[in-house]
């Protein structure tokens, strides 16, 4: 592993350990929301002609493909 990446990861884990469980949960929710917005932004750029309903349908179909299907 790259020494710089190893150092950054160690720092990241230190920051996480100092957070309360509520702060970690809030950060996880914030990152999840950011990921969703980024994904939708990418869909809008890829399908500029699609309206909001069509984008929502595309979003749901693509998210469904990402889910773990190990039953």
Q: Angle, to 10 degrees, between the axis of helix 52-66 and the axis of helix 21-46?
A: 120
Cα distance between residue 34 and residue 23, in whole Å: 16
Verdict on whether the full-model pTM lies above 0.85? no
Query: Which pLDDT value is given to residue 44?
Result: 96
Overall number of domains in the chain: 1
pLDDT, tens only, 7-48: 999 999 999 999 999 999 999 999 999 999 999 999 999 999
Q: Which domain holds residue 48?
A: 3-66
Tokens of 34: 């950011």
pLDDT, residue 54, reads: 97
């Amino acid at each position: 592993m790259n020494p710089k990446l190893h150092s950054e990861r160690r720092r990241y884990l230190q920051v996480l350990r100092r957070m309360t469980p509520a702060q970690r949960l809030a950060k996880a929710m914030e990152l999840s929301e950011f990921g969703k917005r980024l994904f939708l932004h990418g869909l809008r750029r890829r399908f500029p002609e699609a309206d909001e309903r069509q984008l929502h349908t595309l979003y749901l179909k693509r998210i469904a493909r990402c889910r773990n299907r190990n039953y």
